[in-house]
């Protein structure tokens, strides 16, 4: 397993399991727990959750049923747009902990930037950090201007920024900015957003790009393995989601090959600024219509 040391000294696995829409959007039942238990059996320890994914109870059950010590896991969650603000953030965090049946989180992130509420939200998160209820604080989908806003008042530095990043949307200027300021870059939808819930057709995803397929063939690897290794070799965190045991296993087995610098540059060259998910410039109004389940 590969690890990155965050800027506060906490170690995070570079490869984890994304929790969005396992089964279907906001599904929270035994099926979801079973998928997570399979991932744990494969070796996954980082589980990237969020209150709005609506499946924190299933994750909590799986952690308990696994029989593994809590310290072996790295569990993250995120505060949704409708939960931001000082007291709301405290309440949202408490509800996430209760659903997960955990005493603390390893990472708590602001899911999307809401600049009017960022200071209140972050200061509430800083209080949770000082109380040792969370080991690290992070950002998700933050633009350079949003990070600069945090830097202007924060007492606790964010450790990461989780952004949409895949070969068609590399966000290189933002990645460079984050890495210069020692914010780890975490990639959501590294293989392209899920077809069933995002509406993005498989043919639009980088995982079927001829360049990726050719590189995969040369390394006797799967296209997904190539994209995940492309990220890991560039010191990024990846949280792909899979419900098939075979895909979970192959996604996790990345130690048998390393991409050449030339191949990394060729994949970098696939960027066409093609965003498959929400745009932080416009998504907030729609996010307000999406409810976090109880």
| Residues annotated as part of the active site | 53
Q: Which residue has the tokens 């049923």?
A: 65
Phi first, then psi: what are they for 29, rounded to 5°? Answer: -135, -170
In the numeric block, which tokens belong to residue 155?
């007492």
Crossing angle of the two packed helices 261-268 and 223-232, in degrees rounded to 10: 100
Contact (Cβ atoms closer than 8 angstroms) between residue 156 and residue 137 = yes
């Amino acid at each position: 397993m590969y690890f990155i040391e965050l800027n506060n000294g906490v170690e995070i696995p570079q490869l984890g399991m994304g929790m969005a829409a396992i089964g279907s959007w906001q599904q929270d039942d035994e099926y979801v727990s079973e998928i997570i238990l399979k991932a744990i059996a494969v070796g996954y320890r980082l589980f990237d959750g969020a209150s709005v994914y609506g499946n924190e109870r299933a994750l909590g059950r799986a952690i308990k049923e696994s029989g593994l010590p809590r310290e072996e896991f790295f569990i993250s969650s995120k505060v949704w747009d409708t939960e931001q603000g000082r007291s709301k953030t405290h309440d949202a965090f408490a509800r996430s902990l209760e659903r997960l049946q955990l005493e603390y989180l390893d990472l708590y992130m602001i899911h999307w930037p809401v600049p009017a509420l960022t200071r209140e939200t972050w200061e509430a998160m800083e209080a949770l950090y000082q109380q040792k209820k969370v080991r690290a604080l992070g950002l998700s989908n933050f633009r350079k201007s949003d990070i600069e806003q945090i830097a202007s008042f924060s007492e606790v530095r964010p450790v990461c920024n989780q952004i949409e990043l895949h070969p068609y949307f590399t966000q290189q200027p933002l990645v460079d900015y984050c890495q210069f300021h020692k914010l780890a870059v975490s990639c959501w939808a590294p293989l392209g957003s899920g077809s069933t819930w995002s509406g993005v057709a498989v043919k639009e995803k980088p995982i079927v790009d001829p360049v990726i397929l050719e590189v995969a063939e040369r390394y006797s690897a799967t296209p997904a393995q190539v994209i995940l290794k492309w990220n890991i070799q560039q010191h990024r965190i990846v949280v792909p989601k899979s419900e098939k045991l075979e895909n979970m296993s192959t996604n996790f087995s990345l130690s048998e090959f390393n991409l050449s610098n030339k191949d990394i540059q060729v994949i970098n060259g696939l960027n066409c600024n093609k965003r498959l998910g929400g745009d932080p410039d416009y998504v907030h109004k729609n996010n307000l219509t999406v409810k976090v389940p109880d």
